[in-house]
Amino acid sequence: MQLPNVDNFIKDVQRGVTYNICAYRKLSGQEMTRAMQVFIQQQGQHQPKQGSVVKIFSLVGLGEQ
């Protein structure tokens, strides 16, 4: 299976972190926000440092034509 190769950038201005959500297609703003929220919830106490760029791999768009 090929890895997702479409970069979608969104910035969390409250935390000062930029997220690069790598998916199989261009994501809507709502899809990017949801991926960012899920990542933040999963990290718990281990949040990224301010000014960092976090890469998230998403399956959104896999199998779509």
What is the pLDDT, as a whole number, of residue 57?
95
Q: Identify the band that residue 65 occupies on the pLDDT scale cut at 50, 70 and 90.
A: low
The total domain count for the chain is 1
Tell me whether residue 51 is in a domain.
yes
Tell me whether residue 15 is in a domain.
yes
What is the pLDDT, as a whole number, of residue 64?
83
Tell me whether residue 1 is in a domain.
no
1 has pLDDT over 80: no
Tell me whether residue 12 is in a domain.
yes
- The candidate with the shortest Cα–Cα distance to 61, out of 37, 39, 40, 32, is 32
What is the extent of the structural domain holding 21?
6-57
Tell me whether residue 64 is in a domain.
no
43 dihedral zone (left: phi>0; alpha: psi -120 to 50; beta): alpha
* 11-60 tens-digit pLDDT: 999 989 999 999 999 999 999 999 999 999 999 889 899 999 999 999 99
CA distances 52 to 32, 33, 42, 47, 60, Å, are: 17, 17, 17, 10, 24
